[in-house]
Structures are given as structure tokens and as C-alpha cells.
A and B are shown apart, each in its own frame.
Chain A
Amino acid sequence: MSITQSSASLFSTTEEKEGTFNARYSLWIKEALDELPHSFTITDPFISGHPIVFASPGFLKMTGYSREEVIGRNGRAFQGPKTNRRSIMEIREAIREERPVQVSILNYRKSGSPFWMLFHMIPVFGNDDGRVIHFVAVQVPISGQKMRNGSGCSEMVFGSCRREVCLGSFVHQERALPVECDEQELENWEHCEASESEKLKSAEAVGSVLSVLTRYSEFAGRLVCGKRNCLRGADCLSSSLVISLGRIKQSFVLTNPCLPDMPIVYASDAFLTLTGYKRHEVLGQNCRFLSGVDTDSSVLYEMKECILKGQPCTVQILNYRKDKSTFWNLLHISPVRNASGKTAYFVGVQMEASCKDIESKELRPEPRQLSVVGAVRVAVRSSFMATC
């Protein structure tokens, strides 16, 4: 999505990103991971932009970047003009469906030179709540072997579906000797198949990283594991939905009307900035904490009526920040349906108004607020349609 997406989020510094990583695991996790020889990265889907929160020394060496240049960036920063579009789609879909993937892909170093690698990624789940905490991605450089198909050079590009779809007879792997070729050549390869030993290496690396994470999460009392051990709770959004919502750069919240007291289940970074609260302080709470002494109760009543009727509404309401200061909030609320066709959430989009607009009798939402609603609608509708 393109709402002012920048490679480093506007709202978190490098320390903050690493901080959320550290919060999950006990002390010395970074040192333990640093000791592993492999190239790997760890990303956090719950931070806007799905950024890298840890990069191993092996990764930094392979790509030529420094730690500061990598933390906070999204993985696609290492792709380039000749990176195969299907491989990119495969990775994107694996993230959306919260499943592992192993694909060869062309990436680019800091110097701009391309290299082929086997990209092996797995989701890491919270043991207690079943949601995806991180994605771990291992990178194994591939030596130059080109896949050939019997006679003729036509090359198969595998689609994003599971391998069974591709007829076995099409692929006749003949091992060519490792080819010495210049980098210009590398970009023109359609595909570069990893050898069995390279695939084993990646699986091994993934296993090592996972066991370090498991051990250190256990020490911290918040175990993670490689398999989802329980169904995700109703108050917990899928990581793909969170990634989609994280691209929307305005203040908004999602509340769940099916849970008692209609709690907030998602709050954007901009909302937290506007109100001064931290995320853990608002998740699970009803929005009424934003109201205070001077908030007009008839407006609250109007909102409640609209929610009960399942209708959108726009109000001007006096809200209070965490520091008790007030602001006029032009608030637009609307029910949002998921793939079942039923209302799954309400979205509330806040806009700070400099003063109360006394003139207009009939309040209309700002175009920017409608954009947020639209973007939320498509995200919510699609998020429940992930295949298993």
C-alpha cells in the first residue's frame, strides 16, 4: 500500500524497535543470537511496516550493511529490479498466511551487486495466545547452479501454489557444474535452484535460531514456539491484518462489538501519538477513557445509538489525553464487516479539530477519514480469507 510508506517508520527509533524485541525475551538474547554463525533476520509484524528487529552478524557481513542501516527496514529493501516477481509473491503470501516458505531469490548488497540466496522463513508463535510474534528468515547463499529442462532452454517459473501443482515431469534437474559467471549474468537468470545441502543448511539454521528464541522466551516466562499450539483468541488480530492496518498513517482504532464492553482490539501509532497513551494501555479497553468531565453526554448517547443500529456516524466530541489536556475530536465511526458478511468490528477515525465547528448542523467526515474507513474495510474483508 502506498500511504506515505517509508522504509523506516516515523514513530519508532532503532532502540524502540529493538526494545520491543527485547521485551519478549530474557536478557542476553541478543548476545546468544549474535553467537550463531548463520545469516538471519527477525521481523515483527506488529510494528507498523513489518520491520526487521534483529539482524545477525552473518547477515550484515553478507549484505554489507551496518546494524543501524538494517534495523527498522522492511525485507523488501534488499530486493531490486531483477528480483523475480513470483518469488516476491511467494514470500508475501507466506507472511499473509502465517506459514513457512523456502524460495530462491535474487537480492542486492549495499554495494548494489546482486546475489542469489535461498530464503527460508518461518513464523514464530506465542505459546499462550497462538498469535505470530515474529518471522524468522534465514539466508543461505547459493552457488551458481542453473536449472535446466531436458532439451531446450525454456525455463519454468514456479507459481506461488504448492509444488504439487507443478507436474513433476516438467522438472528434470540436471546438476550443472558450479558456473563462474560475472554479476551481470546473475541478474539475468530466471531461477537458481538451491542444492540439497544448501536446503539442509537453511533448515538447520532455522532450527538453531528457533531453539535460542524458545529457550530465552521460556526464561522470560512468555514461551514461543514454531507451531501454533492454540487457536488465536477473538481479541487477537491475525498478523496479516495487523500488517495491513499498520500501513494506514492516520489515527484510528478498531473495536470489537462481539466482546464484552466493546474493547479496542487495534490502535494505530497515530492514535497513540494523538492521545499520549501506550499501546498496552488502550488495548482491551473501551473508548470511554477518552471522555471526561466536560464531554457532552448527549453526543455519547448519539454514538451509542448509531452503534446499536449499525450505522456510520460523525460527531464532534471533547476528548482527554493521558496528560489530561483536552482536544476537539471530529470522530467518524462505522461498522466493518469481514468475509462472513457480518459486522466484525467498528472503526473509529479521529481527527483533531482546532476548535468546535459550531456552524455546521450536519457533520460530514473528512475525505481523509473516509480513506481510512475504506482501507480498513478491504483489510478486514480479506484477512479472514487466508487459506490454511
Chain B
Amino acid sequence: MLKIKRVPTVVSNYQKDEASDESVGCGRNCLGACCLNGARLPLYACNKLEKSGTGEKVVISGEAREPPVAFLESLVLGEWEDRFQRGLFRYDVTACETKVIPGKYGFVAQLNEGRHLKKRPTEFRVDKVLQSFDGNKFNFTKVGQEELLFQFEAGEDCEAQFFPCMPVDAENSPSVVAINVSPIEYGHVLLIPRVLDCLPQRIDHKSLLLALHMAAEAANPYFRLGYNSLGAFATINHLHFQAYYLAMPFPLEKAPSKKMITTVSGVKISELVNYPVRSLLFEGGTSMQDLSDTVSDACVCLQNNNIPFNILISDSGRQIFLMPQCYAEKQALGEVSPELLETQVNPAVWEISGHMVLKRKEDYEGASEENAWRLLAEASLSEERFKEVNALIFEAIGCSNQEEELEGILVQPSGSVNQTGNRTLGGPITNGTASECLVLQ
């Protein structure tokens, strides 16, 4: 079993050491059974319809409908500002100096000495992407309700709906948006699908689609969602996505791409060219669900094959980047240079996208495109390994790895379709417990 000592980032004011006793009686107004009764949060149900290509609302009966509340600004930023003024964050992230590193790509560096807590490091198992949920460890049902901003769901209606004060009802399996108390930028939030169901950190079709809906609803290319798998620097084994707003392109988004294939549902898959981390880009599809399902299939395949990865949802949900990585493994095997380790920068989704939070002034002053590139390159799979992984993915999503010319003989996706919508294609069937997963090394 591979282990490395890590100090996880604190994302909630109630996050304690995993070793400490969690069974103390509550009084914290959390989401557990002890406090849930009577809990109320605003609820935003986004509309069911697809947006047109320009991101404008689909016109229904000749009249474009405005959402009832300007989603991004009012709910996310407004509620965030409220918590900001109430002092719920561990530091004022806007007081952290930030700059664009000169260079072709424009990596963004931030000097943030307060983000990483100085405390006893905890053991974290990095060699298993699939691990069961452990109720004894910190999870989002233990978060104080004041850290929650609103409930979010993919609505049933043609219109987006907003309810300023809706009971949090376990029967409805609510999904919530919470603040990240150690923000990387102003507005940094967590999307926690079906929080009370206590899902472990792994991608499933329904949850990824919810994340895409959120990106689409924000309708702002500068609001992205990100995901870290276990082994790719997720800090909490309770299913969550992160999101925040940065009004400039990420280097990842600027990288050139080379088209590899188009699936039968119209999803175009490309690989990035000339970027330190080898990545896939998914876009298109005849519907948002098609795009989401294709990416979910790819993620499930990676999970089943124990390959850690990160996801970036970009361009208001039109583009999804998938980045398999191996930094943690290298780190555990002692293969990362001490210089890089000393910066204590872990290449999670935001770092790989090009946003680096640096803890030491010297790292910030000396930040260069070269250094950033070197760090990220360590996380990347090798050319060979990347090709192998792509082959696995293409098989799982029902396409063979062929050039576009041969599209005519693409194989139709096969495999059992589970009634509840959790499709699995190729690979071993998972039923939620880690012990049944094959570990291929």
C-alpha cells in the first residue's frame, strides 16, 4: 500500500483531523440527522432545456425567459459575499497578491501563505481511486449549515425556478452548494451532489450531468467546475466538485488541440498538443447529456482501472477536459525532485489548468512559465502510457481508436444499461465497494 504524508486543505470550518473523535454531540447546526429537521435553504432548479450554441436561452413561444434570479451573481457571489462579511473564511483571498506569469501561456500565480494549515500531517491512501465512504471521517454532512449557500437541482420544468426558502428534505436527495473556507479565489464553492446519500468521491453519470448543468446555468465562460479523483489530490472522500470564477482564460483552455475522433452521439474528442499534462478534450454531442455520458463513461473506465484523474468543465459546460495523472504515485515512490516537493504544490485540477497557489514568497517571486511547466509535466502520463489509457477509454465508450476517415465503421456502444441510469460499459462492474475493483499496475 502506497502512502505519502500530506496536509489536506481545510475546506470546512468543521473539518477536523481524521484521527480525532467525531462522536461528540452536535450543537453545530450541521446536516446530520441531529440538526436536519427544520433546515431551510434557497433552492435553484435550472431549466431542463438545452441552451443554444450561443449560450442564450432557448426562445420559447416567442419570448426569451430570464431566470428569476441572476444565477451566478446573486446566488453564488451574493451569498458568498454575505459569508465573507460574516467572517466565515479562514482568510481574505482578495488580499492575496496574484499575477499572470509572463510567457506564452499566461499561468496565474497567487501568493497565499494561509491556505495550507500547519498541523499534524495525516496519512492518505493514494494508490486507490475507488475507496468506500467512511462516515467516521470528515464529510459534508458535518458541515455547519451557515456554510451552505443553496440547493441546486436539474429541474423538471422548461423554466428555471427559484425558491428562496425551501426545506432541506432528505426524501428529495438534495444537492447543495457550499463555500470553500480556504478559497483559491473569491467565489470558490463546492457542489455536493445528493449530499445526504454520502456518495464517495467517484464520478457517476447523474452527478457529472448536474455539474454540467451548473456550468451551463452560470452561462459565463470564466466560471468553471473542477473535479479531483482520489489519488489526484481530492482531499475529502465525499463526492464533490469545486467551482470558482476567474475572469481570464486558463492556460489549459488556450492549448491547441488535435481532433482524434467523433462518437456516434456527436461528441468530439481531441488531445491537447504542446501542454505539459497530456489531456483529452470532449466537446459537442447532440445534447448535453450525450457529452456528459461520454465523459462519465471515460471516467468510470479510469476509475475501474485505478487511474487517478482530474476534470475541468469549461466554456459554460461546452468543453470538458480530462487529465489522467500519476504525480502522487511518483511522489510515493520518491521519484519527484526535492525542489518540486518543497514548493508543496500538489497538481490538482486548478494547478493543472494553470492556476498555481504558492505558499512561499520566494516561489511566488521566482514563478516562471518554466517552473510551472516542469511541475505539471511531472504529473503527466508518459506518451506511451497516455496512448494505452486512451485505448482503454475509447473501448469503454464504444469507439475504436481510429482516425476520422474510418468513422463509418465505428462500433455502436454496447453493454448493459442499468435501469437506474448508471451505465457501465466495458471493464468490471462496480457496485460501490472498493474491494471488488481490479488494481492494474
Contact = CB atoms under 8 A, between A and B. Distances in A.
A111 to B, nearest CB: 17
B10 interface: no
Instruction: Return the 3 tightest CB-CB contacts between A and B, nearest first.
Output: A81-B53, A374-B77, A382-B247
Interface residues of A, number: 58
Contacts of A155: 258-259
Interface in B155-188: 185-187
A181 interface: no
B257 A159 contact: yes
Interface in B98-133: 98-100, 102, 104-106, 108
Given A89-B221, A379-B247, A371 B403 contact: no
B295 interface: no
Contacts of B74: 3, 367-368, 371
Contact of B81 (A85, A154, A167, A373): A373
Interface stretch (A10-18, A35-43, A337-345): A337-345
B81 A160 contact: no
A156 interface: yes
B220 A1 contact: yes
B273 A190 contact: no
Contact of B52 (A81, A89, A337, A378): A81
A156 B270 CA distance: 10
Contacts of B220: 1-2
Given A371-B70, A382-B248, A89 B253 contact: yes
Contact of A3 (B73, B79, B260, B273): B73
Interface in A351-388: 367-368, 370-375, 377-379, 381-383, 385-387
Contact of A312 (B72, B85, B100, B249): B85
Interface of A: 1-4, 76, 79-83, 85, 89, 92-93, 96, 152-162, 164-167, 170, 190, 244, 248, 312, 334, 336-337, 339-341, 367-368, 370-375, 377-379, 381-383, 385-387
Contact of A374 (B105, B187, B253, B254): B187
Interface centre among B77, B97, B105, B246 (most CB of A within 10 A): B77
Contacts, number: 173
Interface centre among B79, B97, B100, B256 (most CB of A within 10 A): B256
B96 interface: yes
Contacts of A368: 74, 78
B405 interface: yes
Contact of B54 (A80, A159, A190, A371): A80
Given A2-B67, A96-B248, A387-B102, 10 more contacts: A81-B53, A82-B53, A89-B315, A93-B248, A152-B403, A154-B260, A341-B94, A341-B96, A377-B77, A381-B185
Nearest to A244: B247
A96 B251 CA distance: 16
Contacts of A167: 273-274
A387 B100 contact: yes
A157 B187 CA distance: 31
A156 B405 contact: no
14 contacts: A1-B72, A85-B318, A93-B249, A156-B257, A165-B256, A166-B256, A248-B73, A370-B82, A372-B73, A379-B247, A381-B186, A381-B247, A383-B247, A386-B248
Given A85-B315, A367-B82, A377 B253 contact: no
B249 A89 contact: yes
Interface centre among A166, A374, A383, A385 (most CB of B within 10 A): A374
A382 B248 CA distance: 7
A344 to B, nearest CB: 10
B1 interface: no
Interface residues of B, number: 63
B89 to A, nearest CB: 13
A158 B184 CA distance: 29
A159 B405 contact: no
A337 B81 CA distance: 14
A245 to B, nearest CB: 12
B410 to A, nearest CB: 15
A165 B247 contact: no
B76 to A, nearest CB: 8
A374 B256 contact: no
B255 interface: yes
A224 B403 CA distance: 51
A160 B249 CA distance: 9
A50 B70 CA distance: 20
A1 B74 CA distance: 11
Nearest to B275: A159
A226 to B, nearest CB: 24
Contact of B70 (A4, A89, A96, A334): A4
Contacts of B318: 85
Contact of A382 (B95, B246, B283): B246
Contacts of A96: 247-248
B81 A377 contact: yes
Interface string B255-277: 11111100000000010011000
A107 B413 CA distance: 34
Interface centre among B77, B78, B81, B251 (most CB of A within 10 A): B81
